[in-house]
Amino acid sequence: MEGLLALAAGVLYAAGIYLMLRRRLAQLIIGLGLLSNGTNLLIFSAGGLTRARPPVVPDGASALVAPYADPVPQALVLTAIVIGFGLTAFSLVLAHRVHATVGSDDVDDVGREG
């Protein structure tokens, strides 16, 4: 299973980087979105995979009963997801403003205007 997820993360990175190297503003941001997803998957899987045992203490127990999924990467990824949302929204609107101001969605035109 690690191999499959490694494949998925690798494809997400490759697609994300390829899109970030494009000239269109929209593709730049979409690439960023793919890259965030790839990174979240990377951090999550790097902590080790455990099937279907959430880090929640069962009723009656006083501590987690092994084996359980590592809560630390989960806490990291959870905030990363929400921050990624803020980042995506901000860069989308920024791209939109640049597009409206410069009148082009070609990143190379932005430099020329500046």
Interface of this chain with other proteins, residues 10 to 69, rule: CB under 8 A: 10-15, 17-28, 30, 33-34, 37-38, 40-42, 44-58, 62-64, 68-69
Instruction: Report, in Å, the least distance between residue 76 CB and other proteins.
Output: 9
Provide, rounded to whole angstroms, the least separation between the CB of residue 81 and other proteins: 5
Residue type at 31 in one-letter notation: G
Number of residues that bind other proteins (CB under 8 A): 87
Quick one: which H or E segment has residue 113?
A: helix 107-113
- Rule CB under 8 A: choose which of 72, 102, 103, 113 binds other proteins: 72
Instruction: Supply the minimum distance, in Å, between the C-beta of residue 57 and other proteins.
Output: 4
AA identity, residue 55: P
- Give the count of beta carbons closer than 10 Å to the beta carbon of residue 12: 20
Class of residue 28 by CB neighbours under 10 A (exposed 0-12, middle 13-18, buried 19+): middle
Please give the Cα distance from 46 to 75 (Å, whole number): 14
Least distance from C-beta 39 to other proteins, angstroms? Answer: 9
Measure the CA–CA gap between 63 and 58, rounded to whole angstroms.
8
79: contact with other proteins by CB under 8 A: yes
Under the criterion CB under 8 A, does residue 102 sit at the interface with other proteins? no
